[in-house]
Structure 1
Amino acid sequence: MTMKKLKWGMIGGGEGSQIGPAHRLGAGLDGVFEFSAGALDHRPDYGIDYGQRLGLGDRAYGGWEEMLEAEKKRDDRVDLVTVATPNATHFEITKAFLENGFHVLCEKPMTMTIEEGEDIVEIAKKTGNICAVNYGYTGYSLVRHMRAMIARGDIGKVRLVNAEFAHGHHADATDADNPRVRWRYDPAQAGVSAQFADCGIHALHMASFVTGQEVEKLSADTVSCIDVRTLEDDAMVNFRMDGGAVGRLWTSSIAIGRQHGLGIQVFGETGGLRWSQEHPNQLYYMPLGERLQVIERGEANLSPEADRTSRVTIGHAEGMPLAFANIYADLAEAISARKESRIMDSAANLYPRAEDGLRSMAAVFAVAQSGKEDGKWMDARPPMFR
């Protein structure tokens, strides 16, 4: 990978943001991106002040439109823009930057509708610019090793995938009217889905990422366990994949005792694999008829995909910002390869694409509709992929 730093800009992720620091840590970790520009807050004065305190100088902008107009005129314009704003603004901002020649990493969900998602896919193809979506948990080293093991046939043909993303942080009914919680279950602000669109799509994308299969159809049971909520706080989704695998997915925000709760199990003809985001340093592998093996992050003889994304020595903790950093490292390699007219490192060619964001949005609408129709099976594919 080239040591010449690329220039990176961020929209959203301002002071007090939950996701902003993770992106700034991730982008800066390997020294491949320089934080060069930002429109960090919907309040112009706050955004400019915070950006200047972070060292952006006159490239701390009061809004994304101002940032776009200024950056596209610069010879040293940013190479990558991260969109970390509220969900309803993702489409407009991502579209504008792609059409003006910028590569984009958009937070999930990429859009609010399937039609918008298809537009973004088409714009990325037409312009040739990268549009990535931050399914950041696929950046974990052992998730990538899991994918490599499945691809090389270590567990045989995949039969069953069991994915979960369940937490209990919205379980208190007395807190249901808290504005920071309430908006998530309000269709006017969140769209057609709450918990599945927030967390479930991470688990569903993880299932596709590690198996190399896409979801074709699904059936969902959705429920609002706290009855004042319009949108679901718990969902159970059955799905079928295009390579023949059967899938089960549970996502919940009322599972008291669960903290983060993202995990995945894959069962094949000759073995099984299990990984959890709360214990990311271990991948459990059970070959048929043999003893359980614990694969440790950082150990010798892992896949190139795992070796490339392991920064700290074996036994030390790996966390979410490092997973995000691996997505940024992938994008830095992709952008640098284009600039240098060379083939990118295949072990880095794993960042989630606009197509992944589109498939997730199609699944969100399919889950919402299936939940309304008592679990009726729905086509989970976006129209352009049918």
Structure 2
Amino acid sequence: MAKLTWGMIGGGAGSQIGPAHRLGAGLDGHFAFAAGALDHRAADGVAYGRSLGLPDDRSYGTWQDMLAGERTRSDRVDLVTVATPNATHFAITKAFLEAGFHVLCEKPLTMTIEEAEEIVRLAAACDLICAVNYGYSGYPLVRHMRAMVARGDLGRIRLVKAEFAHGHHADATDADNPRIRWRYDPAQAGVSAQFADCGIHALHMACFVTGQAVTELSADTVSCIATRELEDDAMVNFRMDGGTVGRLWTSSIALGNQHGLSLQLFGEKGGLRWAQEQPNQLYHMPLGGRLQVIERGEPNLSPEADRATRVTIGHAEGMPLAFANLYADLAEAIRAREEGRAMDPAANLYPRAEDGLRSMAAIFAVAQSGRNAGAWCDARPPMFR
């Protein structure tokens, strides 16, 4: 089967996220890296693209150059990944959708709810894929959790507890570090810092696994380092449309925590616990039974987990493999469209623009609630109310 082609905007030399995308997109042989505009400094972006093997005429200086160059090619890229600073996501995603390209956008999808609603409507009107990179939903055992919930193994889910708390921004003397400073600057980050950066991954995972959407929330937000305008710690209570209650803690000053993403579910017939730093194990406590450890790669897991598993049991997996599962989903979605068939249900799990929109609505609700002493706020986007 011929490879699909893929292009990337952003993710240049020194990027934290660029290598994970390039590894993920190429891991299974679904995509060939064919074009890129990799840096906001045009000359640097062109040079870096060429160093990665891009041909001279497809290593672009700006995203506008890439749009102009690719839209007229007979072999134009099948998918464009947007991995640029947050404030540019809307303009780039919108332009490429309007030009007929499928898009995978880094989160946040946009900076405002209104922009996100426009992207959702545009993708639907153009009949194009617009995905959002909530990459942690690609882990096999996260997908197995979702399958267990969907088939009723836990009964009705009463409570979900999500965390994404690390300590890598705990040093107050880092106030002028440009890699950290922008995250707490409203002009660059928007209305939220830590929740928008990390907490939203935990919230998306809660929604992904339970199959429910957040309807309302109450948030206590605080800047533990007083010089920061935006929050570096937040505690969020939320309610979901299927009746589940949620608790979420996110922090960037939790010294001793490294990555800190974890999820627990508590249902009528059992509970589940998973942590990103130990992704090969899922802990299952059946009601009235003994604690069980489900291992990634063991026999008789769900089709969703089996499809997302590459290496044999007992071997480590990591974030690029989770990203690769999203790219594999997208490849299956693109090919199914081209071939006029239904896509594999076990692959139909990539986060959509609608997920990015719901996340944006939650970010604004957290900011509003935090300003108002934890008052409960509607967390639904206006178009979904």
How many residue pairs end up in the alignment?
A: 384
Question: How far is the alpha carbon of 1:179 from its aligned partner?
Answer: 1.8
Q: Aligned partner of 1:259: which letter? A: Q
TM-score for both structures, normalised by structure 1: 0.99
Quote the Cα distance in structure 2 between the aligned partners of 1:136 and 1:183. 22
Would you say 1:98 and 2:94 are equivalent positions? no
Counterpart selection for 1:47 from 38, 45, 48? 45
Quote the Cα distance in structure 2 between the aligned partners of 1:168 and 1:258. 6
> Unmatched 5+ residue regions in structure 2?
none
Secondary structure (helix, strand or coil) at the match of 2:161 reads: strand
TM-score for both structures, normalised by structure 2: 0.99
Which position in structure 2 is the counterpart of 1:36? 34
Which position in structure 2 is the counterpart of 1:26? 24
For residues 356-379 of structure 1, the C-alpha deviation after alignment (integer angstroms, 9 at most, x for no partner) is: 000000000000000000000000
Question: How far is the alpha carbon of 1:113 from its aligned partner?
Answer: 0.2
Q: Aligned partner of 1:365: which letter? A: F
Would you say 1:253 and 2:252 are equivalent positions? yes
Quote the Cα distance in structure 1 between the aligned partners of 2:68 and 2:172. 45
Trace 1:184-333 onto structure 2 (pairs within 5 A). 184-333=183-332
Question: How far is the alpha carbon of 1:176 from its aligned partner?
Answer: 2.1
Quote the Cα distance in structure 2 between the aligned partners of 1:30 and 1:178. 37
For residues 141-180 of structure 1, the C-alpha deviation after alignment (integer angstroms, 9 at most, x for no partner) is: 0000000000000000000000000000000111122222
For residues 242-277 of structure 1, the C-alpha deviation after alignment (integer angstroms, 9 at most, x for no partner) is: 000000000000000000000000000010000000
Quote the Cα distance in structure 2 between the aligned partners of 1:190 and 1:28. 30
Preserved CA contact (<8 Å) 1:170 1:176: no
Quote the Cα distance in structure 1 between the aligned partners of 2:174 and 2:86. 23
Quote the Cα distance in structure 1 between the aligned partners of 2:294 and 2:197. 30
Which position in structure 1 is the counterpart of 2:86? 87
Q: Aligned partner of 1:208: which letter? A: C
Quote the Cα distance in structure 1 between the aligned partners of 2:155 and 2:120. 33
Secondary structure (helix, strand or coil) at the match of 1:280 reads: coil
For residues 23-49 of structure 1, the C-alpha deviation after alignment (integer angstroms, 9 at most, x for no partner) is: 000000000100000000011100110
Which position in structure 2 is the counterpart of 1:9? 7
For residues 3-59 of structure 1, the C-alpha deviation after alignment (integer angstroms, 9 at most, x for no partner) is: 220000000000111000000000000001000000000111001101111111120
Trace 1:142-221 onto structure 2 (pairs within 5 A). 142-221=141-220
Quote the Cα distance in structure 2 between the aligned partners of 1:16 and 1:222. 31
Question: How far is the alpha carbon of 1:183 from its aligned partner?
Answer: 1.0
Preserved CA contact (<8 Å) 1:142 1:283: yes
Which position in structure 2 is the counterpart of 1:119? 118
Task: Show structure 1 runs of 4+ deviating over 4 A.
Answer: none
Secondary structure (helix, strand or coil) at the match of 2:231 reads: coil
Quote the Cα distance in structure 2 between the aligned partners of 1:230 and 1:72. 41
Quote the Cα distance in structure 2 between the aligned partners of 1:287 and 1:136. 28
Quote the Cα distance in structure 1 between the aligned partners of 2:60 and 2:189. 27
Question: How far is the alpha carbon of 1:123 from its aligned partner?
Answer: 0.2
Question: How far is the alpha carbon of 1:342 from its aligned partner?
Answer: 1.1
Question: How far is the alpha carbon of 1:182 from its aligned partner?
Answer: 1.1
Quote the Cα distance in structure 2 between the aligned partners of 1:177 and 1:37. 34
